[in-house]
Structure 1
Amino acid sequence: MRARGLIWTLPLVVAAGVALWLWMSGGLDSLAVWAAEGQREAQNAIARGVRAIKQGDPGALAGLMGVAFLYGLFHAAGPGHGKLLIGGYGLGRAVPALRLSALALASSLAQSAMAVLMVGAGLGLLAWTRTQVTGLADGALSLVSYLAVAGVGLWLVLRGVRGLRRPGAACGHAAHHDHDTPHHHHHDETCPTCGHAHGPTPAQAEQVHSLRDALVLVGAVAIRPCTGALFLLIITWRMGIFPAGIAGTFAMGLGTGLVTVIAALASVWLRRASVDRLRAALPDPATAARIAAATELAAGALVAFAALSLAIRLL
């Protein structure tokens, strides 16, 4: 029993170690610096591309799409809430790779759409200045986005806690079990003695949990539009070539989405290579269910910790 306890608490220990490392070392600061430098170079190229479109240069629009896509790649390569949320969810929940990848791409494109709506409404309807639009994105919307991501993390923590309690309760009917009589549990069946299912079947675990989950994930990422997209949209609005800005913004979204999809696939692979293999190797479905719940709790705690750390920096 002690060995089993160590097994299902291991994800919590790993999560605590990662959180401590992020806190003490500053995380991926070198990657953030590299990505920021790449974004600045791409932003200068975007400005040149917009001027070329305004001057009617042939091929300028295609060039802008390529530069905007690269900007999205650099933007997504640095620390960000999209990869944090999608990757954490993929580690914490058993989600098919294709489905999580679709959510990753949808969240990036929704972020682009949010930028278009924000600039269109801010400049066109409210007559805001560039400073007001970017100030809202960098201030209030950034804070709301990080808090929303932290909320998803805490939601995973809560579900993990419930999952840890459920298997123990399901298998702890001392009054109804004859402990002198051995009985067997199966991962894909109910217990023949007590009639309870002590853990989800593999097919159940692969089901998407709900449309609500998908909307929450996409919404938490889309709340805060990309600064580069706002920059592109504002200058194209002022130059009278706003459709080119919209096209470039969605090209950015595809670049960001590519990196986020890679993060999604990596999280699914990591879960299958570690947690799912360990669960499959265990003969006791109750212990397997505890490992899944502990992993969800740990992933949620990491997401919440990282998002709250980023939110605190804005205060």
Structure 2
Amino acid sequence: MTRGLMLLPLVLGLGLAIWLWGFGGFATLEIWAAEGQREVQNAMARMLRRLRGGDAAALAGLMWLCFAYGFFHAAAPGHGKLLIGGYGLGRRVPMLRLSSLALVSSLAQAATAVVLVYAGVFVFNWTRQRMVDTADRLLEPVSYGAIAVVGLWLVIRGARRLWAAWREAQAHSGPGHHTHEDGSCSCGHKHGITLDEATHVHSLRDAAVLIGSVAIRPCTGAVFLLILTWRMGIDLAGIAGAFVMGLGTASVTVTVAVLSVTMREGALGQVMGGPGAARVAAGIELLAGLLVAVVATQLALSALSLL
């Protein structure tokens, strides 16, 4: 019963993947998210006019709409979910830690939008179109390229661990060797690494790479909001709205983080602990990295083709 419950998230995740890739789920989701963003944008324009007219109550309405826009923005196929989900599947990261990385990366996207707009206004004297082009035509393919590199990094690490596990298995598969769950064998020595040693992540470098890869490309909606509020003289409302958009985006990316960790643990729960589980974990890391690298590369090439 317990093992069946652990397998349920994996089955649901595979079903979702089949729907997204095999039955047009991505197109349906993209249309729904785009319609939602358009409706929210129109409502935001009305709310901004009220706010500029001195209606203090409009600020709360604007923040709610910013959150909704961030949610719809994140619901469409995008780079943040790809990276967070792929990393959560590929590496054994505690759920709270990966969820925190998803939250911070979404807020970092908002910070990038603020820096882009106000640097464009006060330092480079850019037009609105120049700022949007910088976000869409320059930073978007750079972000996808960085994510593809992270995927390749996962592939290399997974392949190394699979190779190391295979060599250890070959070296210690002879008579008189019986491997226990802690990685030790009947000869009294420890051969290879355990599942926990192979998959836990404690590196600040990993966190910085994940956050930076997502944050490179700011949300276009946040860029538009910041430009409009600057022109209207309500800069602080725009900056606050950009970060609330980040929270709306995080509501989706954190969910993806939770699902990816749950799916991974459900898959690993089907195998015994010890070196066997470590090999399975390495294989999952390799496959997840390959998926991230391939999809991110395709998205980067698609973005470059529009230049």
Using the size of structure 1 for normalisation, the TM-score is 0.87
Offset from partner CA, 1:130-182 (integer Å, 9 cap, x none):
00000010001000000111111111001111011011112322xxx58232x
Q: What percent identity do the matched residue pairs reach?
A: 54
SS in 2 for 1:171: helix
Q: Which amino acid aligns with 2:191?
A: A
Q: Distance in 1 between matches of 2:70 and 2:31?
A: 15
Question: Could you say what secondary structure the match of 2:222 adopts?
Answer: helix
Aligned to 1:131: 129
Aligned partners of 2:91 and 2:285 also within 8 Å: yes
**Aligned equivalents of 1:25, 1:221: Cα separation in 2:** 28
Do the aligned residues in 2 keep the contact of 1:92 with 1:156 (CA within 8 Å)?
yes
What are the Cα deviations for residues 244-271 of structure 1, in whole angstroms up to 9, with x where unaligned?
A: 1000001100000011000000001111
Aligned position for 2:161: 163
Residue 294 of structure 1 aligns with which residue?
283
State the match for 1:277 in structure 2: 269
What does the per-residue CA deviation read over 1:190-210, in whole Å, with 9 as the maximum and x for residues that have no partner?
3342733333243x3574330
Matched, 1:46 2:41: no
Q: Which residue of 1 aligns with 2:221?
A: 228
Cα deviation per residue 1:279-315 (whole Å; 9 max; x = unaligned)?
3x26xx3332221111000000111111111112112
Cα distance in structure 1, aligned partners of 2:108 and 2:47: 24
Give the 4+ runs in structure 1 shifted more than 6 A: none
- For 1:178 and 1:37, the matched residues in 2 are separated by 59
Q: How does 1:227-246 map to 2 (within 5 A)?
A: 227-246=220-239
In the alignment, the residues of structure 2 paired with residue 201 and residue 298 of structure 1 have an alpha-carbon distance, to the nearest angstrom, of 17
- Contact conserved, 2:113 with 2:219, CA < 8 A, in 1? yes
Compute the displacement of 1:27 (Å): 5.5
Counterpart amino acid of residue 35 in structure 2: E
* 8 Å contact kept, 2:199–2:281: no
- Tell me whether 163-172 or 248-257 shows the greater mean CA deviation: 163-172
- Contact residue 91 and residue 299 of structure 1 kept, 8 A: yes
1:313 to 292, 297, 302: 302
Q: Of 166, 185, 189, which residue of structure 2 is paired with 1:191?
A: 185
Matches for 1:240-259 after TM superposition, within 5 Å = 240-259=233-252
Show structure 2 runs of 5+ residues with no match.
1-9
CA distance in 1, matches of 2:58, 2:37: 20
Tell me the residue number matched to 1:6.
none
Question: Whole-Å Cα distance in 2 between the matches of residues 298 and 206 of structure 1?
Answer: 14
Q: Distance in 1 between matches of 2:279 and 2:78?
A: 30
Q: 1:209: which partner in 2?
A: 202
Say which of 228, 249, 253 aligns to 1:260.
253
Change in CA separation of 1:118 and 1:178 when aligned onto 2, cut-off 3 Å? closer
Contact 1:187 1:201 in 2 (8 A): no
Deviation of 1:25 after TM superposition, in Å, equals 5.7
Alpha-carbon RMSD: 2.2
For structure 1, the 5+ residue unaligned runs are 1-10
Q: Distance in 2 between matches of 1:296 and 1:225?
A: 28
**How far apart are the structure 1 equivalents of 2:299 and 2:42?**
27
Rounded Cα–Cα distance in structure 1 between residues aligned with 2:80 and 2:188: 43
Choose which of 87, 99, 102 in structure 2 pairs with 1:101. 99
Size of the alignment, in residue pairs?
Answer: 291
Cα distance in 2, alignment partners of residues 123 and 36 from structure 1: 28
Contact 1:68–1:249 (Cα < 8 Å) also in 2: yes
* Contact kept in structure 2, 1:170 and 1:196, CA below 8 Å: no
Write out per-residue CA displacement over residues 22-74 of structure 1, whole angstroms, 9 at most, x where no aligned residue.
3x766511101100110111111111121111100131111100000000110
For residues 197 and 32 of structure 1, the distance between their equivalents in structure 2, rounded to whole angstroms, comes to 49
2:175 partner amino acid: D
Q: Which amino acid in structure 2 is aligned with residue 77 of structure 1? A: A
